[in-house]
Structure 1
Amino acid sequence: MPKSLRLALAQMAVTENLAANQQKGLDWVKQAAKEGAQIICFTELGLLPFFPQYRAEKKFFQWAEAIDGPTVKKFAEAAVSANIHLLLNIFERAGTGEYYDSTVLLKATGGPALGPVRMMHTAEEPGFNEKFYYWSGNTPPQVFDLDGVKIGVAICYDRHFPEYTRQLVLQGAEIIFTPFAGLVDDPLKMYEIEMQAMAFQNQIFVAAVNRVGKEPAAEFVGGSFVGDPSGEVIARAPRGEEKLLVVDCDLSRLEEMRQVRPFLRDRRPEIYRAWASQTQLTTLADA
């Protein structure tokens, strides 16, 4: 296993000029490769305005693409040209009337897009009107091997559900990337603490990449960060401005932390399963 992975998080602002967004993204791919990154991860809907800020606007379905659509193909070519792996979150059209918030992995060596990882949990709250636009993903959590480094993806809302991220770890994930959309009035510090706990409890690296910039109905704060297996934040992008955050992750830290605090070894899944089978859920109707 390589001793380190250099990753890049693209904390990028966008406009409704989709061509300009894509060109900026392609420029950032080149810059990340120039800085020696082995993988770059874009934010949630990283090349589009964050349309779930609007309630039930059918016009935004025109932005959906298949995972072999023109945007993914363009960035797949860029990944090969720059010799860098790439995680791209898109508005996926999977079939007639079937849409997802999805991330694909585009490998530096080429080939078809891997995944998609589809967001499993969809939010419905002010500024995040996701249930109108997205189906809830129902594919199992996926772990990808990048030159001996195993990575997983937890898209935005999925990171709040420890069952999801623990499953990625049980499948071998050493780094979990989280593309998300965090607003200026969101509890960003709590989000950071939440992911620090995720890193500590699972003894992995976490890499959270947030949108940034003011859009018509929302303002995104940035503050992307990387946490190590001890739960410490080792790098953080500024709030309120664009930043290509390039970070070295020393993967020997996983082994070091798991020797000292073997949380995964000490799990008792056989007992958890017994508890789950014996639990009787009382509904309001039964009370």
Structure 2
Amino acid sequence: QWQMRLYKDMDELMQQAEFFVDAVSGYRSDFALFPEFFNAPLMAENNHMSTPEAIRELAKHTTEIVQRFSKLAISYNINIITGSMPEMVDDKLYNVGYLCRRDGTMERYEKLHVTPDEAKVWGMVGGNKLQAFDTDCGKIGILICYDSEFPELSRLLADEGMDILFVPFLTDTQNGFSRVRHCAQARAIENECYVAIAGSVGNLPKVQNMDIQFAQSMVFTPCDFAFPTNGVKAEATQNTEMILIADVDIDLLRELNQFGSVRNLKDRRKDLFELKKR
């Protein structure tokens, strides 16, 4: 759970990121998940610019940040989901992130549904790439914040064999967080998978359109006898910087799919409806 604070430069921000990677790798974690726009503090140096100009300046850091994360993934032997960052492609501004595998390979993912605020204030546009990714710990899906509120996306990923869904998010209010939190838990139940959400906390008084944050990072499970009765494997303290570590068993998902009290994937009435990716 990432604390938003002002950093003097990118080196200082990445030192903090490495601290978290080092800490979770010490517990032999297989994945590290960072929040959406965790690098927003770097926008403070461009506070004199208009908001659309400032975030486009921030996008210039994305390539270097991803390269640094890839090196951390290799050196600390951990798969890193880099949250999300702005990225310019052909004069269009996207909200994207990267899966940096510990073997040195990388995958790019995009936020498909930008919020009305992202579109209006920043001029951001949604991407069109959706896929599950292979890792050395099973197949994973990654949906950035608002995308988790569209159940079709996670169902398409589940049909590709997704075991764990990662949701980096950034919400400024409790009601915004509640949307992400409850939708993410629903995704765990309906897709028989684990879901991890990670957000940012704290204030950024010198960054326009990114001034306050509200978060509680959590790990959700399906709701059946082999899992926690409330479907919550682990939860952070609200609005407090901390590390959240959870141990999940992929084999339990296989058993649930075949022998669970309810079987949300197998019991779908495919004779009545279908879901396709265009």
C-alpha contact 1:123 1:131 (8 A) present in aligned 2? no
Q: Which residue of the other structure, out of 95, 100, 106, is the alignment partner of 1:101? A: 95
Contact 1:22 1:47 in 2 (8 A): no
Q: Return 5+ residue gaps in structure 1 as ranges.
A: 1-9, 275-287
Equivalent in the alignment of 1:15: 6
- State the TM-score, normalizing by the size of structure 1: 0.81
**What is the Cα deviation at residue 215 of structure 1?**
1.7
**Residue in structure 2 matched with residue 137 of structure 1 by the alignment:** 127
What code does the residue aligned with 2:100 have? Answer: L
Equivalent in the alignment of 1:262 = 263
2:166/2:195 contact within 8 Å kept: yes
Give the AA of the match of 2:65.
T
Matched, 1:41 2:33: yes
Tell me the equivalent position of 2:162. 173
User: Residue deviations 1:34-82, cap 9 Å, x none?
Assistant: 121111010001222397xx98431221111486x21111111111011
Deviation at 1:164, TM superposition (A): 0.8
Separation of aligned partners in 2, 1:50 and 1:65? 11
Distance 2:88 2:177 in 1: 32
Instruction: Please say if 1:62 is aligned against 2:57.
Output: yes
Distance 1:249-1:133 versus aligned 2 partners, 3 A rule: farther
Tell me, in whole angstroms, the C-alpha distance in 2 between the residues paired with 1:12 and 1:168. 30
| Aligned partner letter, 1:100 | Y
Q: Summarize deviations over 1:138-189 as a string: whole Å, max 9, x none.
A: 12x2111111411000101101101111111111111100000122432534
Q: Distance in 2 between matches of 1:93 and 1:11?
A: 21
Write the distance in 2 (CA, Å) between the matches of 1:190 and 1:61.
28
The amino acid that maps onto 1:233 is V
> How many residue pairs are counted as aligned between the two chains?
257
What is the CA-CA distance between 1:105 and the residue it aligns to? Answer: 0.7
State the one-letter code of the partner of 1:181.
L
Q: CA deviation at 1:249?
A: 0.9
Cα-Cα RMSD:
2.4
1:108 to 1:99, Cα distance in 2 relative to 1, 3 A: same
SS at match of 2:112: coil
Instruction: Determine the structure 1 residue equivalent to 2:211.
Output: 218
Structure 1: how far apart are the matches of 2:169 and 2:157? 18
Q: What is the letter of the counterpart of residue 177 of structure 2?
A: L
Give the whole-Å Cα distance in 2 for the aligned partners of 1:64 and 1:272: 41
Tell me how far apart the structure 2 counterparts of residues 269 and 18 of structure 1 sit (CA, whole Å): 53
Deviation at 1:253, TM superposition (A): 2.5
Higher strand share: 1
For 2:252, the equivalent position in structure 1 comes to 253
Matched to 1:219, the amino acid is I
In structure 2, what is the equivalent of residue 209 of structure 1?
198
Aligned-residue offset at 1:197: 1.7
Q: Residues 243 and 130 from structure 1, CA distance in 2 versus in 1: closer, same or farther, beyond 3 angstroms?
A: farther
Match for residue 113 of structure 2? 121
**2:87·2:95 contact (CA, 8 Å) conserved in 1?**
no
8 Å Cα contact 1:121/1:158 also seen in 2: yes
Shift of 1:96: 3.2
Summarize deviations over 1:228-277 as a string: whole Å, max 9, x none.
12261110011121011111012222123222222211223342259xxx
Query: Alignment identity in percent?
Result: 25
1:91 is displaced (CA, Å) by: 2.8
Equivalent-residue separation in structure 2 for 1:35 and 1:242 (angstroms): 18
Quick check: 1:222–1:242 contact (8 Å CA) kept in 2? no
Distance 1:273 1:233, change over 3 A: closer
